[in-house]
Every structure is written in structure tokens, then in C-alpha cells.
Structure 1
Amino acid sequence: MKTVVIAGASGFIGTHFRSRLAGAGWRVRTVGRSGDAVWGDTSAITGLLEGADLLVNLAGKSVSCRYTPANTAEIIRSRMETTAELGRAVAACNRPPRDWFNASTGTIYRDARDRAQNEDDGELGSGFSVDVARGWEETFAAADTPQTRKIPLRITIAMGPGGGVMQPFNNLARLGLGGRMGDGQQKYSWIHVEDLFRAVVFLHEHRQITGPVNIAAPEVVTNKELMAAVRAANRVPFGLPTPAWLLKIGAVVIRTETELVLKSRWVSSGKLQDAGFTWQYPDLARALADISGRNAAGTSVPRASARRHA
């Protein structure tokens, strides 16, 4: 039986991983504010990691919030400190985990409307979210763990039944603000949580893959196409277009930042595609049909035009 240690197992992604890995026959151990080991008890975390096959770190405060001083400080702390502590724990192991996959974000790339950003030639951006992502990956890289393969997972917007950062979009649609945002042409890369789980298992099984890995569905849509699909999934017949200034007012209502919807995120999963990974939810219509609990064949969700960005 294989053993996986999940840090940050209480969140939306972590809960899904915990359930799916246990169902697949893995021995699942957790690190968090509660669990098999808790943050601050590095020796207990080391004991938990001893001889494990895989460590997956998903710990970190959600960025779907207002960037107040308190929230920004917690966004940074919850990523850097937990990653650094895991690094110390792995380094102290006599039999360290074979693999350590640490969450990062596709937001590390620049605002891109001209081409997809892949692992080989993607250009890093600037701003608070990018600075957080850079610091997160730098802390991960600094861990002295030569026996463990380390992969930063540059995860795009994750969605799935019961949670994920689709909620702000759903809220806007229900408020009648579900039209295009800004000019509506900003790109939106995303991943269904089940494909995120499957990608992690795939990476564990494919030892030849190294370095940062982008996690995104092969279809990218524009914000205009996304919001049409969100309205259909919520059975909202119309939505007012929201210029950037009006969106800022709406963002206060739903307590999130406008960057979530105005930045163009166009991310390509080049390494996964080249290694032969297949997506269960390659297009937005199928993903939203699953999330809404309706049969994909009978859903009224419009199928967004496919743009393969290998």
C-alpha cells in the first residue's frame, strides 16, 4: 500500500484528493491545523513523512478575498512558512518521500492575450499575486531535499462540485452582473478538480517529468464565453456587462479582487500533453455540466469554442 501525506487537506482541493486517494487504496496522512500532525510540530511531521511515497502540499489561504493588509500577510505567511517547515521535515527524514508536489499557481505568468504560456517559454508577470507565486516557488526550491523529486504545480483556476473559485463568478451571475467583464476578451485557463487529481497521480507515475508543471485543461475560453456558460449553469437568462470600474463595486460585494476576472490567464499544460496525459474534462461545457449535477448530453450549458493551446 502506498502512503501519501497531504498538507492542507481540509480545503476544497485537499478534501477531493483525500477522498480519491483513500478510495484508490492509498494510506492517507494529513498535516494541518488539525490532523495526523500539526503545523509547528516539525518532528511529528518528519515522522509522518518517513518512508512516504508522495507528499502533496496544498496549504495556503485562498486568494479569493479582498487584499487587505491582514489578508495579504496571511496569503504570504500561509504559503511560505508551511512550505519551509515541510522542507525542514523532509530534510530530517532517513527515508524521505520519493516525490514532493507543492502547489503553485498559473497566475505566475504575465497577462497574456497573444499566446499561451507554457513551461518552456512562458513569461513571468508582475504584481502582488506573481510576487507571492515567485516567493512560494523560491521557498520550495530552497528546501535541501536532494533525494526527493520536487515539482511545483502551477495550477489554474480549479473548479468542481461543492466548491472552488467559481463561486465569485456564480455570485456575480446571480446578482445580474453575469455579462462580459471589461472587454470580455481576457483568456481564462481552468482545470476540473478531478483532472487536477488525475494529473498529480500521473506525475507520480511518470518519473521523467521534472521542473514546474502547468495544470490546465486543453480548452481556453474568453471571459465572455465563460460568463455565458456560467449564466447557463445557474439558469440566469441575462447578465449586465460590467466595465472595470463597475466590477470594482461588485468585487466589494462578493469580497474578492478584480484581478481574478480581469487578468488574462492563458496557460498551456505542455509537459502533461507531451507525456500523454488525457483529460476527463477537456472542455468547459463538460466540466460545468458535471459541477451542476446534470448529464452532459442533456445540459443547456453552451459548448465554448475549443482552442487547443499546445
Structure 2
Amino acid sequence: MKSAVIAGASGFIGAYFRAGFAAEGWQVRTVGRNDATADAVWGDTPAITELLDGADVLINLAGKSVSCRYTPENKAEIVRSRTETTAELGRAIAACATPPRDWFNASTGTIYRDARDRPQDEDDGELGSGFSVEVARGWEETLAAADVPATRKIPLRMTIVMGPGGGVMRPFNNLARLGLGGRMGDGGQKYSWIHVQDLFRAVLFLHERREITGAVNIAAPEAVTNAELMAGVRRVNRAPFGVPTPAWLLKMGAVLIRTETELVLKSRWVRPGKLEDAGFTWQHPELEGALADIAGRRNAQDGTVYSQ
């Protein structure tokens, strides 16, 4: 039986991965903050080493959510929660007699610059600047510094992950139902995304293809504009209209809901070059179908009936 260790398994993506690996017949063990729910806790490096010894795959998703105000305290915790956990995993793997074959470490497509002129891929993408980019660089540099020669290390430069269990869809759906699901800013900023099912499938795909190395962009092949995204969200929520939100109003509202406007105003145009070149096929390559699938699963869970 293959085995996977998931660090940071309590969130939306982690819960999906736990269920996904179990459905594939893998043994799944977890690293987290709470010893009542995780098999090993941060700070207990020997226990983490014991979990990792002989495992096939490590998936690290740990890190404080970036959907918050960037106060000095929050910024420090965003960085710390990523770099310190990644460094500890490196130390744990180094102590393994039989280290994991693969280490997939979360990163972000936000590492690239604000791009409206062309998509950014792994070969010629241009890194950006600012706090979010610094976080991503530090995260990937910590992974690169881990001395684990027997383990392949792949930063997963994930775009916005969408799914029925949470993630970005919840606030977007709520905005649409309130009649506020119009374009944000000028609506022209690009929005690269990935259905959580395809994120999981991409990890399995990469695990089987040893020839792929280095950072991998995790995105659907279709990028849309913010205006197109919100139009799709309105359709699946049957919202007849959505009030546009100009940038100045977003900045005011972000203070009230304690988040940052960069999360919706930055143009994230990411091309999944390595996945495309390796022949990966997406279950949800287009936004319209992905949104319909998410809405259908959501409504099935709460007992309502969905029809397109």
C-alpha cells in the first residue's frame, strides 16, 4: 500500500487530499498543530520523521491564510507559518532511513508579476515584487535549501483553487447572492484558477513522472478576466445582476472585511506549461464547466436541486 503524509491537512485543500488519497487506496497520515486530530504535531521533529520514514509522498500545505489584513503581525505569521514548517519537514526527511520519494510543497502563482500582456510559465515567467512575491520566494528558497538528495522537491505554484468544500468560491457566491457579484476594479485583470479535483490529479500525475523537476504551475489551461469570472459566478447562482465594485470602493471594503485588495485586483495570468507539455488532461479545463460542477456538488450536499 502506498502512503502519503499531508502537512496542513485541516484546510479545504488538505481535506480534499485526505479523502482523495484514501479513495485511491493510499494510507494517509497527517502533520498539524493539534495532536487530537494529527498523527504528529509541529515541533516534534522525531515524530514527523517517524511518519515520513518509508512514505511515498509528502504534501505540505501548511501556512496561515493570506486572506487577512497585512498588519506587521499577520505578515510575520504568514511568512513564519510557511518557512518554519517547510524547514522542519526538511530536517525530518534528512533524518529518515528511507525518505519519501517526492515532496510536493505548496507555493503560489502569485510569485509572477502582474501580467495582462502574456501568460507566465515556468520557463520564461517573470517574477514580480511586493509582499506576496517575497512570501513565495522565501517559501521556495526554504524548500530548495533542504538537504534531502534522495527526495524530489517540487514547488506547486498553485493558482486560485476552486471547489465545493470552500476556498474562494464561498465569498464569491455570497457576493453574487447579495447582488454584488459584478466586476471588481476594471474587470480586465486575468484570473488563473484550478479545480481542486484537477489539483489532486496533477499531484498524482507528477508523482508518476520522475522526469519533471523544479517548480510546476498548477492552473487550468483557460484563464479568464475578473469580469468573465464574476459573470460565471452570477450564472450558477442565478443572480440576474451584479453591481460592479470600483477599485476605490474595494479598498474601503477590504478594511471592513479584513483582507487585501491584491487578492482580487492583481492580474494573475499563469500558464501550466510543464503539465501541458507532459500531456496532462484536465477534468475541468474551462471555467463554465468547473463552476457548474462545483455548484452541482454544493447543492447535492445541502439537499437542493441544481440545473444549468
1:72 alignment partner, one of 72, 75, 97: 75
Query: What is aligned with 1:303?
Result: none
The letter of the residue matching 2:5 is: V
| CA shift for structure 1 position 242 | 1.3
Do structure 1's residue 145 and structure 2's residue 148 form an aligned pair? yes
| CA shift for structure 1 position 62 | 1.2
| 1:111-122 superposed matches below 5 A | 111-122=114-125
| CA shift for structure 1 position 257 | 1.1
Residue range with higher mean Cα deviation, 248-257 or 77-86: 248-257
Deviations 1:221-242 (A, max 9, x none): 0011011111122222111111
Deviations 1:120-156 (A, max 9, x none): 0000000110000000000010000011000000000
* Separation (CA, whole Å) in 1 of partners of 2:206 and 2:114: 27
CA RMSD of aligned residues (A): 1.4
* Separation (CA, whole Å) in 2 of partners of 1:56 and 1:276: 22
Query: What is aligned with 2:303?
Result: none
* Separation (CA, whole Å) in 2 of partners of 1:2 and 1:235: 43
Query: What is aligned with 1:155?
Result: 158
Q: Is the Cα contact below 8 Å between 1:168 and 1:256 reproduced in 2?
A: no
Do structure 1's residue 53 and structure 2's residue 49 form an aligned pair? no
| 1:74-113 superposed matches below 5 A | 74-113=77-116
Following TM superposition, the consecutive aligned residue runs of length 4 or more in structure 1 with deviations greater than 6 angstroms are none
The letter of the residue matching 1:76 is: V
Query: What is aligned with 1:188?
Result: 191
The letter of the residue matching 2:148 is: T
Query: What is aligned with 1:3?
Result: 3
Do structure 1's residue 29 and structure 2's residue 32 form an aligned pair? no
Deviations 1:7-26 (A, max 9, x none): 00111000000001011100
Query: What is aligned with 2:214?
Result: 211
| CA shift for structure 1 position 70 | 2.4
Query: What is aligned with 1:306?
Result: none
* Separation (CA, whole Å) in 2 of partners of 1:150 and 1:187: 29
* Separation (CA, whole Å) in 2 of partners of 1:299 and 1:128: 42
Q: Is the Cα contact below 8 Å between 1:187 and 1:222 reproduced in 2?
A: yes
* Separation (CA, whole Å) in 2 of partners of 1:101 and 1:88: 15
* Separation (CA, whole Å) in 1 of partners of 2:40 and 2:229: 40
Query: What is aligned with 1:135?
Result: 138
Do structure 1's residue 170 and structure 2's residue 173 form an aligned pair? yes
Identity %: 80
Do structure 1's residue 14 and structure 2's residue 14 form an aligned pair? yes
Query: What is aligned with 2:302?
Result: none
Query: What is aligned with 1:304?
Result: none
Q: Is the Cα contact below 8 Å between 1:151 and 1:212 reproduced in 2?
A: yes
Do structure 1's residue 264 and structure 2's residue 261 form an aligned pair? no
Deviations 1:239-289 (A, max 9, x none): 111111011123234332111110000000000011110000101111111
* Separation (CA, whole Å) in 1 of partners of 2:90 and 2:84: 10
Deviations 1:80-133 (A, max 9, x none): 110000000001111110000100000000000000000000000001100000
| CA shift for structure 1 position 299 | 4.7
Work out the number of aligned pairs and report it.
Answer: 298
Q: Is the Cα contact below 8 Å between 1:5 and 1:48 reproduced in 2?
A: yes
Label 1:65 to 1:170 Cα distance change in 2 as closer, same or farther (>3 A).
farther
Gaps of 5+ in 1: 301-310
Q: Compute the TM-score of the two structures, normalised by the length of structure 2.
A: 0.94
Q: Is the Cα contact below 8 Å between 1:191 and 1:217 reproduced in 2?
A: yes
Question: Secondary structure, in 3 states, of the residue corresponding to 1:159?
Answer: strand
| CA shift for structure 1 position 68 | 2.2
Do structure 1's residue 274 and structure 2's residue 286 form an aligned pair? no
